[in-house]
Amino acid sequence: MLIEARPANDPELAALVVAQQRELRDVDGGPAGQVTVTHDDLRYLVVVAGGRAVACGGIQSLDAETGELKRMYVRPAYRGRGIGRQLLAALEELAFRQGHTTLCLQAGTYVPAAIGLYRSCGYQPIPGYGEYDHNPYRVCFAKQLPVAA
């Protein structure tokens, strides 16, 4: 397994993001045809296993101290192998290297496995922020990253 940076226009990354958005739409009953594309202002990591991109995630800077975890996704056939946990650790390292001291995220209430992963990795519930403020179908979390000595 390899975790590597990929540009937003990488076709394998784009396929993962489309798969993630379709899966979320199927679970939460969102409108058909609504597929989010990659964002140019995110720094992405992709997990490659057996020569295939199987997971992704990105970090978006909210401000100098705070990064937001976005587009975290593991293909269904690769879940339960610890890939998400390893990817999350790599994304936290990326956020730290970008100078962030806090990493926040939002998750849909309809994805309990993701919420369980974040909680088990030290993320604490926080009030909704930005577009997630007052959204009853979203929960928000944050984690303080270690400070360099």
What pLDDT is recorded for position 33?
Answer: 46
Above 60 in pLDDT, residue 4? Answer: yes
Structure tokens at 112: 């309990």
Sign for the CA dihedral angle at 143, 29, 71, 134 comes to negative
Return the DSSP state at 120. Answer: H
Task: Give the pLDDT confidence of 34-83 residue by residue, as tens digits.
Answer: 445 555 689 999 999 999 999 999 999 999 999 999 999 999 999 999 99
Task: Give the pLDDT confidence of 76-103 residue by residue, as tens digits.
Answer: 999 999 999 999 999 999 999 999 999 9
Check: CB of residue 76 under 8 Å from CB of residue 37: no
Fold exhibited by the domain 2-144: Aminopeptidase (3.40.630)
Looking at residue 125, its amino acid is P
From 39-43, 129-133, 142-146, the region with the lowest mean pLDDT? 39-43
CA angle 54–96–102, rounded 5-degree value: 100
What pLDDT is recorded for position 40?
Answer: 66
Instruction: Report pTM.
Output: 0.90
